[in-house]
Amino acid sequence: MRRLQTYVGRSLRPLFCPIVAGLGFFPEGIVVAAQAAPAPDHPNVLIIYADDIGRGDLSCWGQRHFQTPNIDRLASEGMRLPNFYGCTVCAPARASLLTGTSNAHSPLPNEGGLECELAAGLISREEFEKGVAHRQSERPGRYFLGQMARSAGYHTAYFGKLGIGYTETAERIAGYGFDAHCGLYDSVICWGFYPEYYWENGQKVPLPGNPKFDRATPHCPLVGGEQMIYSEDIWLEKCRDYLTEQAQKKNPFFAIYATQLPHGPASIAPQDFVYSDRTEWTQQERVYASMMHKLDSLVGALTAHLDDLGLSDNTVVIFMGDNGHETLPYLDVSGRNDVVNGLWSGHQRGEDRFDGTLGQRGVKRSNHQGGLNVPFIIRWPGKITPGSESERRTPVYDILPTFAAIMGVEIPVAIDGLSILPTLTGEGRQREHAFLFWHNSTGASKEALIVGDWKLIKEMDCQASSREARRRVYRAALYNLAEDPYESKDLASAMPERVNEMLEMIKQAQQPLP
């Protein structure tokens, strides 16, 4: 770590929200709560947020080709939610996490890649600013997770892949309620693990040994050079320093560590290429498995640090994903035998050695189960039964109201989420959603809605669509997830009344919140 400290050895100083100083950087309509002293029994919070991960990527959910012992230990000490849902891609999931709303109501992402293009001289500062502001006024968000934690007296921090996306700024991160941050603002820059620089509380920190931003996307070698700095090493060091500082100050903290792992392109530092000898795998598979080892190692490093600081017993630790498993970093899917008119139905045929979706249909970008279902593990000593599991279908937008209940905070705006505190602790009555809802902006599918075990999805009709002709036709498909978890038996034609009822619910789900 000595070489890393040459460039990142500075302490992480808090960036206080500009509105406190009267500078007015928050988007119109944002509710800002003053920081208050927390109740003595309020726990610290550390959310470890993985990027592009399925349950099948973890050995506690059956991964056989590599092991994730630190994440497994977290599961054995806490609760797993196998029916937890993120969104199809990163930005909508992060918007739902930070606002407690479905992506019918959460803030819309702006344009991505702007900072990389600006650094490369491909766009002007004016074009950059215009792209950052794009769609911000349409749904700016009214209340954010960081603001809520601050109102309960927590010091708040964000590390790694920052904010909602696709291009963030220091003012926007502060607007979400985070006192301090360290990481990357541009989601396209997050596609690489060797950035030219990173941001710490609005200050640019150069990494001279890393490749320059000289094109629209970052350089991302499969295996980095010896003198290059792997970004995850920075976020881990900064997060550990932050935890140490808060422990010394006896500050309650609310921290999000949004790791870039295991998002592609596949890339690993030479010292972390632990599966280099698996010659029966492709080079990309060896790197991807090594990335998963790296992810598990950082989870172990953070939980061990909480142990060393004496904070584990009073800290809620969550490990979760944003969207479903992605195969592109290591798998060429062009030869699938079920591609019709250049389009894939999403059914798994065993091509994925690592089976990150556990055989569920679809991957990232799809509203089928493989694109939405993500791992969720939560540990809260003394409150959550170790080694427990809940089958409740839980969306990411339930996280904010759950912490509101834990912190005793009144949410001042209408949201979609419901607290799952009764599910976690076994105390009180658990409220249930009338339905769960998702938009999809990727084109792989359209809206999806779950009611109990029934799922309606506007999926692509591959027979009527054509990639070459750029024609996409969608149909309403109905699945019973309890009996058909792989979404292979469309019951829409046999149950038209249920289909019509759920189509009406989709309209209801998209009505504005009061």
The pLDDT tens digits of the residues spanning 199-220 come to: 999 999 999 999 999 999 999 9
Q: Are strands 197-200 and 180-184 parallel, antiparallel or unpaired?
A: antiparallel
- Residue 428 falls within a domain, yes or no? yes
State the average pLDDT over residues 460-464: 91
- Residue 467 falls within a domain, yes or no? no
232-272: pLDDT as tens digits: 999 999 999 999 999 999 999 999 999 999 999 999 999 99
What pLDDT shows up at residue 115?
Answer: 97
What pLDDT shows up at residue 331?
Answer: 85
Task: Specify the DSSP class assigned to residue 435.
Answer: -
- Residue 81 falls within a domain, yes or no? yes
Structural domain span for residue 224: 2-434
413-436: pLDDT as tens digits: 999 999 999 999 999 999 999 999
What pLDDT shows up at residue 340?
Answer: 86
What pLDDT shows up at residue 139?
Answer: 79
Evaluate if residue 13 carries a pLDDT over 50. Answer: no
Q: What is the mean pLDDT of the chain?
A: 91
- Residue 451 falls within a domain, yes or no? no
In total, how many domains does the chain have?
1
Helix/strand/coil for 445: strand
H helix and E strand count, the chain: 13, 18
What pLDDT shows up at residue 319?
Answer: 98
What pLDDT shows up at residue 17?
Answer: 37
**Confidence band, pLDDT 50/70/90 cuts, at residue 26:** very low
Residue of higher predicted confidence among 238 and 13: 238
**Confidence band, pLDDT 50/70/90 cuts, at residue 6:** very low
Evaluate if residue 32 carries a pLDDT over 80. Answer: no
State the average pLDDT over residues 58-75: 98
* Percent of the residues in the chain that have a pLDDT greater than 90, as a whole number: 83
What pLDDT shows up at residue 332?
Answer: 72
Give percent helix, percent strand, percent coil of the chain, each to the nearest 5.
30, 15, 55
- Residue 121 falls within a domain, yes or no? yes
- Residue 506 falls within a domain, yes or no? no
pTM: 0.93
Evaluate if residue 3 carries a pLDDT over 70. Answer: no
- Residue 258 falls within a domain, yes or no? yes
State the average pLDDT over residues 136-160: 92
CA-closest candidate to residue 84, choices 328, 349, 452, 392: 392
What pLDDT shows up at residue 351?
Answer: 84
Residue 320, domain CATH:
3.40.720.10
What pLDDT shows up at residue 5?
Answer: 38
- Residue 469 falls within a domain, yes or no? no
Following DSSP, what letter does each residue of 239-289 receive, concatenated? HHHHHHHHHHHT--EEEEEE--TTPSSP-B-GGG-TTTT-TTS-HHHHHHH
